[in-house]
Structure 1
């Protein structure tokens, strides 16, 4: 009987490990690959947009395959969560725009940002806005729900691991400031996801920050 129970626990752990590999590690690696391709693509070109949309597809397909009964969005407190997300997103925006005024004098940090923003300058702006928005929501669904729910440990341990994964995937773009942004956005979004039990506030703060940065930052750097 002891042997049988041990075998059962081993099989359950192995299944859990397989699920982590399929739902967390593999999608994260594919997303990093897609972002790496996008970062080396011609500015505003087809390859950039195909790669970034492919990354979003990875996030949403992973959710479709590994989603649970827990809903992504709680509409019962929609208004409050939208306001919370917007306020936090605008606070992050103010912080990063203030930092941008200093970063423009540091070539090591500003030049990769220039290269990333060239997609907005030379590509179709509406497509850039669309892919930024879709990827922002996809990141919240994947990192704050799918990856977080399947990683082992306490809430804090899972939050840290999902944040490290978020930073690692974002770093594939080769833009140092995006890694810093991933920390700020990731910490705020993780807190909001736990506090509200929903992804409304995380998505709103992510979109309000990222879309505002996309439209305003090219005029500062």
Structure 2
């Protein structure tokens, strides 16, 4: 278990992903512009009245912003991790990391359930699923989870020469503040740190995307069982 976690979150695999100075500047300009646009659209989409059909096009538009920013920033990488004595695309390991992270969150939610503030914050997150189509919300969750990783662990991470895990996590967390929900901000901070470490170890976005989507879906279906 210790070796598996170390390879998933800490050990760096060989890679050469250096940008030219011009390429790095382009990433940085695109990343800043996209963060601002995405934060505004995120705040708008999560303030739409639960049950409104406007929620779905707004959140898909947000995903489009993240994807467009990621693709415009430059080349993206899938990444690899060490499995036995070979380098392979990370699939099973990030799935298990996402499941483990979701379990930690759900246990914490169960412990904090009696706290009125926490309960209100959770209900604020789940209102769209409760009032609208759970299937559509699940699709939105998957699409936006992948889009966020393409941008934050793809474009933003690659745009930062120093401490990219810290900077991409902070950028992701600050963007989430626009949603106006403290629970989402805390979740973004912890999730961002984990997937940032995965990005650092693997050199790519595949592992972070799988972890993010796994965690998000388990939270979507698991939190209503707790609250």
Aligned length: 203
Q: Does 1:100 align with 2:106?
A: no
CA RMSD of aligned residues (A): 2.2
Contact kept, 8 Å, 1:56 with 1:135, in 2: the verdict is: yes
Deviation string, structure 1 residues 105-155 (Cα, Å, up to 9, x no partner):
22222212202201111111111011110110111110111011112x32x
**1:44 pairs with 39, 51, 74, which one?**
51
For residues 188-203 of structure 1, the aligned pairs below 5 Å read 188-203=194-209
> 2:121 — aligned with what?
112
Counterpart of 1:8 in structure 2 is none
User: Aligned residue for 2:165?
Assistant: 159
Aligned mates of 2:139, 2:27 — CA distance in 1: 31
Aligned mates of 1:45, 1:187 — CA distance in 2? 33
CA 1:209–1:19: 2 relative to 1, 3 Å: closer
2:40 to 29, 33, 37: 33
State the Cα distance separating 1:71 from its structure 2 match: 2.9
Structure 1 30/103 Cα, relative in aligned 2: closer, same or farther at 3 Å? Answer: farther
The equivalent residue for 1:170 is 176
- Distance, in Å, in 2 between the alignment partners of 1:91 and 1:218 is 18
| Distance of aligned partners of 1:14 and 1:197 in 2 relative to their CA distance in 1, 3 Å threshold | closer
Cα separation, 2, equivalents of 1:115 and 1:104: 14
**Worse-superposed segment, 191-200 or 119-128:** 191-200
Give the alignment of 1:120-135 within 5 angstroms: 120-135=129-144
Q: Which residue, out of 184, 188, 211, partners 1:182? A: 188
TM-score (norm 1): 0.84
Scaled by the length of structure 2, the TM-score of the pair is 0.82
Give CA deviations for 1:154-175 in whole Å, capped at 9, x if unaligned.
Answer: 2xx2221111110011121112
Q: CA–CA distance in 2 between the matches of 1:94 and 1:45?
A: 31
CA displacement 1:40-80 (0-9 Å, x = unmatched): 11103122212211110001111222222x533559723xx
Structure 1, gaps ≥5 residues long: 1-11
1:20 is aligned, of 28, 44, 51, to: 28
Decide which of 56, 71, 74 is 1:67's aligned counterpart. 74
| 2:95 counterpart residue number | 86
Residue 84 of structure 2 aligns with which residue?
Answer: none
Q: For structure 2, list consecutive stretches of 5 or more residues without a partner in the other structure.
A: 1-19, 82-86
